[in-house]
Chain A
Amino acid sequence: MANVSLERITKIYNNDFEAVHQIDLEIADGEFMVLVGPSGCGKTTVLRMVAGLEEITSGILRIGDRVVNNLSPKDRDIAMVFQNYALYPHMTVGENIGFGLKMRKLGKDEIQRKVRDATAILGLDDWIDRKPGQLSGGQRQRVAMGRAIVRDPSVFLMDEPLSNLDAKLRVHMRAEVSRIQRRLGAPTMYVTHDQTEAMTMGDRVAVLLSGNVQQCDAPQNLYDHPDNLFVAAFIGSPSMNLYEAHFADDGTRLLLGSQSLSLPERIRAARPGLAAYSGRKIIIGLRPEHLPLAGPVDDQVLCGDVDLVEALGSELLVHFTIDAQRVRAEAADEEEEDQFAGRGAGVARVDPRLPIKPGDAVRFAVDVDRMQFFDPATTKAIWA
């Protein structure tokens, strides 16, 4: 077991494209580190560099105390689970799992014992003589896991291992992979584009964009305290509602289109940085769950027109429009962005039993203490 350390790791391809830019990451022993980001953010490239499948252009990669930049994959003591599983189709489940041990010249009995242990952990005992073509997607996924765990490596690398499974199985395997990782205790780097996977599985999550780590933190901290607009928009589903607002000259009121919110003294005191934005534009962020329906006594209120209601049983997602300008974060979840990309679109998560219908005009109570602020130019969060 060992920790993994990436120090100013950079990848520049032959065509001068810089896929990864001076990334620093520390994965502690036993830690489950998720790399998450949109397509092309460099997350898979980082993983492949750690695996030794991709050359590191510059920077230092350590596994334990060893610098492994120039070691071949087999000498790095790592195991990897591939997105498409990359099972050997002509070998049985047992041969697939035992292949790495065979290449390492272990004895037949020892291989058999270890393969049995792995298949027992993964519930593959009955399938050991089948070929991958005879297995379901979930079973193949397990075989790929089995091939990784049987070698008892220092580090696990997983490249979107659950993305080929159907939704229900994915939820199940999420828990399963976490369970196995905890049981084996090896540090794990897990690449995904799915922020739900990132949030639910990671001890820490590194959010990547354009080859840079935007923020690396525990999932709840990412959610509660995003460093910038991109992380704010990327983490959380539905996304954070982001609007362009105008700060009144005296710094006490925020103007959103034709509506306004007042900013109490305690918030201004807690975030002195906001004073600099008096009379200027600022971006505000509101999580969907921080927009409950307003009661008669609420005074911090935004009015919106309901476009669509999604009843999920446990909650009601209300898609609405206000007349403020919505802000799009670069490369945030595009599908979700485009669905209601209209001017001032937003989502509120409310009590599922409320009788809200499309076409209603609704008043949302704004939890100003949970409101987040971002600089429109730098997109950095304003916390202090």
Chain B
Amino acid sequence: MLASDRRLGYALVAPTVIVLVVITGYPLAYNLWNSFHHYVVTSGQPATFNGLANYARLFHGQSFLPALENTAGFTVVSVVLETAIGLALALALNRPFRGRGAVRAAVFIPWAVPTVVSGMLWKSMFDPQQGFVNYVLRVLHLPGGHVTWLANTGTAWGAILVADAWRNTPFMAILLLAGLQVIPSEIYEAARIDGATAWQSFRRITLPMLKPALMVALIFRTLSAFLIYDVVYAMTSGGPGSSTDVLSYLDWRAFLVQSDFGYGGAVAVFLIIVCLAIAAAYVRAFRVETVR
């Protein structure tokens, strides 16, 4: 490559790099700086360096570890659930049937609903008196018609999972459907002639060939599940008590309720590190298989 070509190349990417540094790099650096300082904005005091004290508070305070446990549990359960249902949906929608286009569009509608709106929607659906869920259960004489879903720890988590799955499973399905569509039908025909049953061709053809799409979908879903905030905020505000508290909600309170930019910054740094670790772990787990 000529030196002038190289200079032109740098010049062409420079605007993007500058924008990225300004809008991503600066807040990240500022947040990192905060996390090493005692800095409560509303106190009027300037930030003072306090080393790792904010990070120590994470692990010695009362709210962080339970919220971490909740977040991790929710992430695992919701990702497994949404992946399984999303894959089933994608497989169904990949088969030819009359009206497939309309059904596909309908399935993806929940994903177009803003998360806070879907949270509010499900909150009202789970309302013990006026809610749709209890109404249906009562009409069908099923157990649970009088449960106050959002007032008990276990059922509140159940309700959050339902709302989250309703909103996000279509996203999983879209990505997996796209992955399914690039698998040529001839390959399935070859497998049929080779004697593979439906299960064997799913297990030996579909799943391995779906891996790239599955990886992308899992990274997206896992990260956004780990950062869950709006559904919890809308439905339970972390309650009852702090039984449905999660890390992003806790961080939101640190920043905006307590104005504690030091502690909030430490929580945010922790979230960022975990997210990077999750993404790296997925890429590593899938890499060997996706090399062609």
- Closest Cβ neighbor of B289 among chain A residues: A90
- Closest Cβ neighbor of A82 among chain B residues: B186
CB-CB under 8 A from B190, the residues of chain A are: 80, 82, 86-88, 147
**CB within 8 Å of A: which residues of B?**
184, 186-187, 189-197, 200, 204-205, 208-209, 211, 289, 292
Q: Is A131 an interface residue (CB 8 A)?
A: yes
Return B82 CB to nearest CB of chain A, in Å: 25
Q: Which A residues, 89 to 111, have Cβ-Cβ distances below 8 Å to chain B? A: 89-90, 99-100, 103-104
Binds B, one of A34-42, A71-79, A302-310, A351-359: A71-79
Q: Is A242 an interface residue (CB 8 A)?
A: no
- Pairwise interchain contact A80-B193, C-beta atoms closer than 8 A: yes
Return A136 CB to nearest CB of chain B, in Å: 15
- Which 10 residue pairs of A and B lie closest in terms of their CB atoms, listed nearest first? A100-B194, A74-B195, A86-B186, A133-B292, A86-B190, A103-B195, A90-B208, A73-B193, A73-B192, A103-B196
**18 extra interface residue pairs, beta carbon distance < 8 Å, beyond A51-B193, A82-B186, A90-B211:** A53-B192, A73-B195, A74-B192, A74-B194, A79-B193, A80-B189, A80-B190, A82-B189, A84-B184, A88-B204, A88-B205, A89-B292, A99-B196, A99-B204, A100-B195, A103-B191, A133-B292, A134-B292
- Closest Cβ neighbor of B183 among chain A residues: A89
- Pairwise interchain contact A88-B200, C-beta atoms closer than 8 A: no
- C-alpha gap A147/B190 in the complex (Å): 9
- Selected from A73, A84, A99, A103, the residue in CB contact (under 8 A) with B186 is A84
- Selected from B187, B200, B292, the residue in CB contact (under 8 A) with A103 is B200
CB-CB under 8 A from B189, the residues of chain A are: 51, 53, 73, 80, 82, 86
CB-CB under 8 A from A131, the residues of chain B are: 292
- C-alpha gap A78/B195 in the complex (Å): 10
- C-alpha gap A104/B191 in the complex (Å): 12
**Interface residue SS majority, chain B:** helix
- Selected from A52, A84, A89, A99, the residue in CB contact (under 8 A) with B194 is A99
- C-alpha gap A72/B191 in the complex (Å): 12
Return B198 CB to nearest CB of chain A, in Å: 11
CB-CB under 8 A from A80, the residues of chain B are: 189-190, 193
Size of A's binding interface in residues, CB under 8 A: 26
- C-alpha gap A73/B195 in the complex (Å): 7
Return A188 CB to nearest CB of chain B, in Å: 15
- C-alpha gap A151/B193 in the complex (Å): 11
Return A157 CB to nearest CB of chain B, in Å: 8
Q: Which A residues, 111 to 165, have Cβ-Cβ distances below 8 Å to chain B? A: 131, 133-134, 147, 151
**Known interface pairs A88-B205, A89-B292, A103-B200. Does A78 touch B184 (Cβ–Cβ under 8 Å)?**
no
A-B residue pairs in contact (CB < 8 Å), sample of 28: A51-B189, A51-B193, A52-B192, A53-B192, A73-B193, A73-B195, A74-B192, A74-B193, A74-B196, A78-B193, A82-B186, A82-B189, A84-B186, A86-B184, A87-B190, A88-B187, A88-B190, A88-B191, A88-B204, A89-B209, A99-B194, A99-B204, A100-B193, A100-B194, A103-B191, A131-B292, A133-B292, A151-B194
CB-CB under 8 A from B205, the residues of chain A are: 88
CB-CB under 8 A from B209, the residues of chain A are: 89-90
Most buried by A among B191, B195, B204, B292: B195
Most buried by B among A86, A87, A89: A86
- C-alpha gap A79/B195 in the complex (Å): 10
Return A311 CB to nearest CB of chain B, in Å: 41
CB-CB under 8 A from A87, the residues of chain B are: 187, 190
- C-alpha gap A79/B192 in the complex (Å): 10
Most buried by B among A74, A80, A83, A103: A103
Most buried by A among B193, B208, B209: B193
- C-alpha gap A30/B197 in the complex (Å): 30
Return B215 CB to nearest CB of chain A, in Å: 14
Q: Which A residues, 212 to 244, have Cβ-Cβ distances below 8 Å to chain B? A: none
Return A49 CB to nearest CB of chain B, in Å: 13
- C-alpha gap A86/B188 in the complex (Å): 8
CB-CB under 8 A from B187, the residues of chain A are: 86-88
CB-CB under 8 A from A74, the residues of chain B are: 192-196
- Closest Cβ neighbor of B201 among chain A residues: A103
CB-CB under 8 A from A84, the residues of chain B are: 184, 186
CB-CB under 8 A from B191, the residues of chain A are: 88, 99, 103
CB-CB under 8 A from A79, the residues of chain B are: 193
Return A101 CB to nearest CB of chain B, in Å: 9
- C-alpha gap A100/B204 in the complex (Å): 12
- C-alpha gap A72/B194 in the complex (Å): 11
CB-CB under 8 A from B208, the residues of chain A are: 90
Return B184 CB to nearest CB of chain A, in Å: 7
CB-CB under 8 A from B192, the residues of chain A are: 52-53, 72-74
Return B292 CB to nearest CB of chain A, in Å: 4
Complex interface bits, A34-78 against B, C-beta within 8 A gives 1, otherwise 0:
000000000000000001110000000000000000001110001
Most buried by B among A78, A80, A83, A133: A80
CB-CB under 8 A from A90, the residues of chain B are: 208-209, 211, 289
- C-alpha gap A83/B99 in the complex (Å): 31
- C-alpha gap A80/B188 in the complex (Å): 12
CB-CB under 8 A from B197, the residues of chain A are: 103
- Closest Cβ neighbor of A150 among chain B residues: B194
- Closest Cβ neighbor of A132 among chain B residues: B292
Return B98 CB to nearest CB of chain A, in Å: 10
